[in-house]
Each structure stands twice: as structure tokens, then as C-alpha cells.
Amino acid sequence: MRRELIALTLIMALAAPLAAAAPVGIPILIDLSHRQPMAGVDIIMNVVPEAQWYVLVRTPDDAAALPAAIKNRATVLIGDFSTIDLEKLGIVMVIFGQPQAPLAPEEVAALAKWFKAAPGRVIWAAADSDYPAQGSELAQAAANTIMEAIGAHLRVDYTSAYDYVSKDLTGASYRVLALVNVSEIPELRYGCDLVLFHGPGPLAWVDDQGNWHRLTSTEKPANAFIIAMTTPNSEIAENQVAPQGITAKVYKPGERGPFVLMAAELVPLKEGYGVAILSGETPYGGYQPGVTWMYYGVRLSGPRFVRNVILWATGYMGELKEYARLAALPAQIRGEVDAALSRLRSDVEARVSKIESTVAALSTTLNAALGLAAAALVLAIVALVLALRKPAPAGTVVRA
């Protein structure tokens, strides 16, 4: 008995640290260590209460400056990506909003190492247009550097996308209301139609030789999925070229849309995939964040959309599991109906074939019977004729 108690005690002692280390919510980190504005961070935390939120800031003063709406919902980390331990924290997703300060090479290396260490990890890198609000195209360069480091092919081009349908709704073509109800990931369409991409850059991709290409539904990397687009009534403009900025790689001024503004790519790892998400605008910070619910009187899907992206990317899914089942029902029902119709058609054809065979047999029998009857009738007629032609009895006078 004592030996069993000792064994039980050892098991509990070994299990206790593991239980204590297991996160309660989905461990997600939002970066504020590269001078991103905080607008929308608290809303993102509110719409995903399932998450165990972390916020990364650069200094203790930055931590002290955080509003209570953020500090009361998140664990605040001080440092940068090269000094914190994403692995030890159990982080599964990093949302890297539009940076306004460069990433150090050691930060990029740390992010890439964490991302590639296990499947199912997510980086959402958000960029910007080449409009010189920040003085440079730093956000695009940072997002592209991260994408390259983790092995993704997606890129954001160094130019701007303007949408004239959005202009009719918001008063300016740079206040782009992106279409997310066209997402190639069905779950992300749930409850969504328009999301604000305020001054976005269009997405592109690079092949294994480093050549840039336009990103379209028919020309894209393997395992890539379009999430958000402009309307067809949109246009490219370039606000900065070399040497003031970086000249656009594939899109040309005056080129007409639609253009992809957000996409996801499943990046192959040793075991499974990591999820790389790239957007030409940001869900938080920026001039006006994508999580916005209304802009210039237009109701938007920002909060719902950001929640969908996080639930899908982390694999938690939540209510999206039920939506995926419902979304699959029409196809399932069509398949079941088609199968039933096919079975019915086969059954009817078999029955018709059997009936045709029976009719054919009956027809043959009937024809044979009719033939015999006709022959019998002919014989009867012949017999009657012969009977009528018998010689007259003796003594009968036959008139000439």
C-alpha cells in the first residue's frame, strides 16, 4: 500500500508542472514593440475571449503607457523578439501589425526559428501602401522580410491600391472597403462582407527563383488562398519610386483591378504546415485599423472578420466548425440527391429492361400463337372448300 502511495505521489509530482504549464486560452501575441499605434488592440482582445493574450512592448515606459483596456486583458512582455522566449510561453500565433520601426536581423531569425520549430504556428504580418505617411515603405519591407524568412512565397508590392466603389461609399478611393465574402477559405466568409483596408498595398508572390508575379486566383503559389480583394473598379498608383522609395515590382500605375489585399499560405515544414498570413493593411494600429466596425456611415465586418481569421488560423475554429458543416451541406445534399437519383435511374432502367424483355417474350409468343391460329384458319378454310367440292351422289342430275 505504501509503495502504491509513493508511486502515486511521484506521478502527481511529475504531472503537476505539466498541468501548470498548459495554457488555458489560445496563446496569441500582439506586437507593439515596433512603434505601432494601439488602436483596435483592445477590440481584438474583446472579440476573441478564448485567447490568452500577450502584448510585446519595447520598454518599461511603454508598458506603463498602455491603457487599462489592454493591461487588464493581457500579459505584458518587455523586450523584442530576440529577447523573449515564444517557445517557453507556448505562443501559437503572432500578429505583427504595420511596423513603424525596423526589425533587427536577430528578431527576424527568432521569429523564423519559432515558426519552423513545430507545425500549426501562425504569423500574420500586416503591411501598408507606399503612400509616404510613414516617410518610407518600411512596413512592406518588414512584412516581406518576415515572409521570406519563414519560407512563404507571398509578398506585398511597393505601391498602392485605390478603389472607386469604396470612394462612392466613403468619399475617398484610398479608404478601401475590401471584399472578404470572396475568400477562398469558406470559414472566413462567415458573417462578413466588407472590411476596411485604409490605404492598402496589393499582394504579389515570388517563385523559387525569386521572380515576382501578380497574385490572382489563377496565378498563385501552391497552398495559397486569397482572402480579401478590391472591387474590379480599382486602380494602382505609385507614390514613391527609387531613390525616395522602392519601385513597384509587378504592378504598374494605372493598372486596373481587382487586386488581392490579403492572403494565407500553408508553409510546408518537416511535419505538417505553418500558416503565413499577409495583408496589405493592418487589423490594429495604422491610420484606421481593419477591426473597425463602421467607417463614414458604412457598417463593416471588421470585428467578425478578425475573429474568423484568428479562429481559423489557430485551428480552434469555435463556431466556424458548425459553419463549415452548414456550408458543406448544399454540396453534401447535392451529392446525396445525385446518388439517390442515380440509384433510382438504375432501378428504373433495370425495371424497364425487364419489362421490355417480358414484352418481347410475350410478343414472340403472341406472334407464334397468331401464326398458328392463322395457319389453323387457313387449313379450316381449305377443308371447307374441299368439303364443298365433293362429287354429287349417284342419280343426281347435274344441269349444264
Residue at 230: amino acid letter: T
Q: Whole-angstrom Cα distance, residue 337 to residue 334?
A: 5
CA atoms 324, 330, 331, 336: torsion sign: positive
Q: Whole-angstrom Cα distance, residue 276 to residue 11?
A: 39
Cell of 316: 480552434
Find residue 198's DSSP bridge partners: 175
Mean pLDDT of 67-86: 97
Confidence of residue 367 (pLDDT cuts 50, 70, 90): low
Residue at 97: amino acid letter: G
> Taking 80 as the threshold, does the pLDDT of residue 247 lie above it?
yes
> Taking 50 as the threshold, does the pLDDT of residue 197 lie above it?
yes
Mean pLDDT of 63-78: 97
Q: How high is the pLDDT of residue 32?
A: 98
State how beta strands 154-156 and 122-126 pair. Answer: unpaired
Q: Whole-angstrom Cα distance, residue 384 to residue 370?
A: 21
- For the chain, percent of residues with pLDDT exceeding 70: 80
User: Who contacts 308 (Cβ-Cβ below 8 Å, separation ≥6)?
Assistant: 187, 188, 190, 191, 192, 320
Mean pLDDT of 89-95: 97
- For the chain, percent of residues with pLDDT exceeding 90: 72
Exposed / middle / buried, residue 213 (Cβ in 10 Å: 0-12, 13-18, 19+): middle
The residue ranges of every structural domain in the chain are 2-318, 326-388
Q: How high is the pLDDT of residue 82?
A: 97
Q: pLDDT per residue over 279-299, tens digit each?
A: 999 999 999 999 999 999 999
Q: How high is the pLDDT of residue 248?
A: 96
H-state helical runs in the chain: 2-21, 41-47, 60-65, 68-71, 86-89, 105-116, 138-149, 164-170, 302-314, 320-388
Identify the CA nearest to 264 among candidates 141, 126, 95, 124: 124
Q: How high is the pLDDT of residue 31?
A: 98
The structure's pTM equals 0.80
CATH class of 2-318: alpha beta
CA atoms 58, 63, 69, 71: torsion sign: positive
Neighbours of 246 (CB within 10 A): 18
Mean pLDDT of 359-370: 61
Q: Are 229 and 286 in contact (CB under 8 A)?
A: no
Identify the CA nearest to 250 among candidates 224, 215, 278, 212: 212
Segment (H or E) for 55? strand 51-57
Mean pLDDT of 121-141: 92
Exposed / middle / buried, residue 242 (Cβ in 10 Å: 0-12, 13-18, 19+): exposed
Q: How high is the pLDDT of residue 366?
A: 52
CA geometry: angle 228, 223, 117, nearest 5 deg:
105
